[in-house]
Structure 1
Amino acid sequence: MKQNVALKGIKDGFLLNLSDTASFEELLEELDGLLDHLRAERKLSGETRQDIQLEVHSGNRLLNDEQKSQISTKIEEKSHFSIKSFTSNVLTYERAIEWQKEVSLEMKVQTVRSGQIIDAPGDILLIGKVHPGGVVRAKGSIFIIGELHGLAHAGIEGDTTAVIVADFLTKAQIRIADSIEVIDNEDEESRSSKVEVAYINDLHILSFETLDRLKKIQPSIDKVTGGLF
């Protein structure tokens, strides 16, 4: 007989696998049996640990809120487990839209003035000037066609593979993940514009390279941006 509910130990607790082919009623019935068995074993062994972390994985089945509530209630009432999360192989519509934004290039044509903040869920191409006090932030990379006098912060959630492409011969603050560089060229008016790539090198230091090195620095750049470079 196929086992529709299976429990196994993982690094930080336990994983409860629920079959995605059985009916939900069958899952609840087998879950009851499993919890009763575990409770009996726990009583015999004298186990006293509480709130052991449990991840519930439903495979190719997406559980709705009511189903999650029923499972949570059973587990909380009949076991020592504390549910950490519900996971599955299925994306919700909302998460799919969020993921699409994260991996797509967002383009904006505007001037970013002092006090303004532009946020992007993935990569961003900004065509326009960023004034002192203006901020451009992105989870991914930042590409600026225009003057950068404010702050450009790529990889705001810790992505050290993100890059910033801009004219760095201007007064600006550059950040990638937790690394910071302040550009302060006193003679910038006498120097020609030069677009470069800012990135985190193998020594975990924020470095600059010429634009023609972009593909080598980040080989997957054309896949993410749709072949922009």
Structure 2
Amino acid sequence: MGKVLKPAVNIKGTKDGLLFLLDESRPFPAVLSELKYKLENASNLWDGPDTRVCIKLGNRQITRDEEKEMRELFSTHKNLIIHTIEADHGKPYLVDDQGIQLQAGTVRSGQVLEHRGDLLLLGDVNPGGTVRSTGSIFVLGALRGLAHAGGEGDDSAIIAASSLCPTQLRIANVVSRPPDEWETSETSGMNFAYLVNGQIAVDKMHHLSRIRPDIEWKDNRFKR
């Protein structure tokens, strides 16, 4: 008698929505195939109000292309909204070889700069300007607008700036409005914001290696 495989996709209801548990031991194409089957063949179960979806990868890491394939499967049900993609070790995505990407210019009021991966911006983010990235954001200039790092759920992302005076910071799904004392931080040197215990904290840049020891220089590139 052949071995019976456990399901590659388990779905559980929670008070916040739906939890999709993906079997880390199965090849990812097999996981996608079963996910597609369950989404297509029980379509009446997915009809209804908007529902937050949390995807748990276990100890698996996926590529951005694999993420795209998975999101396309969910896109057939507009009410299923992927809120987070999480791994047990905190890093759901495989790191590519490109390292940090460089852009230069000023993000002015009303402008939105969106980026996939880690971003190094040589310039200012003016009040009313917005920078969003799926990775970390480093601004060699003044950050006076809104910055959202870890936009797809990466809670290890950071936001750093030569002058950190934002109107609002977001890391993963956590939002922080800056305290009044940040208004005077322009002369206090480079600072960075990071998540700790579900809240956004700010520290001096020279403490980065202690707080985020997984961030380091490799082959002249900033890698995480």
TM-score, scaled relative to structure 1: 0.55
Change (3 A) 1:103 1:172: farther
Aligned partners of 1:103 and 1:123 also within 8 Å: no
Q: Which residue does the alignment assign to 1:159? A: 154
Change (3 A) 1:228 1:156: closer
- Paired residue for 2:110, among 102, 115, 132? 115
Q: Which residue does the alignment assign to 2:56? A: none
Q: Which residue does the alignment assign to 2:131? A: 136
TM-score, scaled relative to structure 2: 0.56
Change (3 A) 1:200 1:9: same
Q: Which residue does the alignment assign to 1:221? A: 215
User: Percent identity between the aligned chains?
Assistant: 32
- Structure having the higher helix fraction is 1
Change (3 A) 1:99 1:160: closer
Q: Which residue does the alignment assign to 1:212? A: 206
Pairwise CA distance, 1:170: 2.4
Q: Deviations over 1:77-97 (max 9, x none)?
A: xxxx959xxxxxxx999669x
Change (3 A) 1:187 1:223: closer
Q: Secondary structure at the match of 1:207?
A: strand
Greater radius of gyration (CA)? 1
Aligned partners of 1:120 and 1:138 also within 8 Å: yes
Aligned length: 166
Aligned partners of 1:106 and 1:120 also within 8 Å: no
Pairwise CA distance, 1:186: 7.4
- Matched to 2:5, the amino acid is K
Q: Which residue does the alignment assign to 1:147? A: 142
Structure 1 unmatched ranges of 5 or more: 14-54, 76-80, 84-90
Q: Any residues of structure 2 matched to 1:57-68 within 5 Å, and which? A: none
Q: Which residue does the alignment assign to 2:120? A: 125
Aligned partners of 2:165 and 2:185 also within 8 Å: no
Change (3 A) 1:162 1:223: same
Superposition CA RMSD, Å:
4.6
- Matched to 1:206, the amino acid is I
Aligned partners of 2:109 and 2:128 also within 8 Å: yes
Change (3 A) 1:191 1:100: closer
Distance of 1:59 and 1:178 partners within structure 2: 29
Aligned partners of 2:164 and 2:191 also within 8 Å: no
Aligned partners of 1:122 and 1:139 also within 8 Å: yes
Pairwise CA distance, 1:168: 5.0
Q: Deviations over 1:30-51 (max 9, x none)?
A: xxxxxxxxxxxxxxxxxxxxxx
Distance of 1:92 and 1:200 partners within structure 2: 24
Q: Which residue does the alignment assign to 1:10? A: 7
2:182 is aligned with 1:194: no
Distance of 1:175 and 1:187 partners within structure 2: 15
Pairwise CA distance, 1:223: 5.5
Aligned partners of 2:116 and 2:134 also within 8 Å: yes
